[in-house]
Structure 1
Amino acid sequence: MKYRFLLLLMIGLALLTACGTTTASTSTTSTPANITVARLKSMLDQNETFFLLDVRTPAEFVQDGRIAQATLIPLQELEQRLSELPTDKTIVCICRSGNRSSVACNLLKERGYQAINVTGGMNEWKAAGYPTVFGQ
């Protein structure tokens, strides 16, 4: 029983580490500001001013569904495409689960942008039953 508890504890810690909001590829250890999908939905419904950035791959964006107002710039292209982002609006970043968007937020913050991460990403958005667009 004691060993089972230790094994479960070690597995839990490993999962927490693997699902954390920072990765070795980022040069910062700060955690970005986060919002829930419910808060994002409220912001969209109230026509708040912000830029919604989806950092998934083009295939995910089309096949897995997207939020209608989102602009796609895949994470691997983000640094080269910063000129496409507004400097006068908060950038709300979303991906599949919240990990890549967290990395994107850290990169944007390092470059002087105000960025917020959507925790749970599109997985949570779709699970909540919020509107999702499929295809081009």
Structure 2
Amino acid sequence: MKEITVTELAAREQQGTAAIVDVREPDEWANAHVEGAVHIPMSQFMEREGELPDSDELHIMCHSGARSSRVAQYLEQKGFNAANVDGGIVAWTGAGLPVVSG
């Protein structure tokens, strides 16, 4: 399974080439998330995978990287090009990268 660091992902986001899928639960998402990310909670993922963005590569994010790792593996098995965001939103905010809430 591929992984991407938050700094690599932030660079892609600035270029407009990052499709971020956040698989955290609604309360986690409301607290802080990357602006423009698509929110599909892991608990609803199989029913809602049709909502995945159309992109060459999907960047899967959760709190610290455990749930997103499982989702990225699942997507790879289904033929998607997916990468786990190493460290999740914890690493993202720890690197001082911007988030929105609500």
Give the TM-score normalised by the residue count of structure 2. Answer: 0.93
- Find the aligned partners of 2:55 and 2:6 in 1 and give their Cα distance: 23
Question: Partner of 2:10 in structure 1?
Answer: 41
After TM superposition, the runs of 4+ consecutive aligned structure 1 residues lying more than 3 A away are none
Is 1:127 the counterpart of 2:80? The answer is no
> Equivalents in 1 of 2:37, 2:76: separation in Å?
19
The answer to whether the 8 A contact 1:87-1:113 is kept is no
Q: Secondary structure at the match of 1:66?
A: coil
Partner of 1:118: 85
Structure 1 counterpart of 2:92, one-letter code:
W
- Report which structure shows greater RCO (CA 8 Å, sep ≥6): 2
CA distance in 1, matches of 2:61, 2:40: 11
Distance 1:85 1:45 in 2: 20
Number of residue equivalences: 102
Q: Give the deviation of 1:105 after TM superposition.
A: 0.2
Counterpart-to-counterpart distance in 1, 2:92 and 2:20: 14
Q: Name the SS for the 1:133 alignment partner.
A: coil
- Of residues 36, 41, 44, the one that matches 1:69 is 36
Equivalent residue number for residue 13 of structure 1: none
Greater share of strand? 2
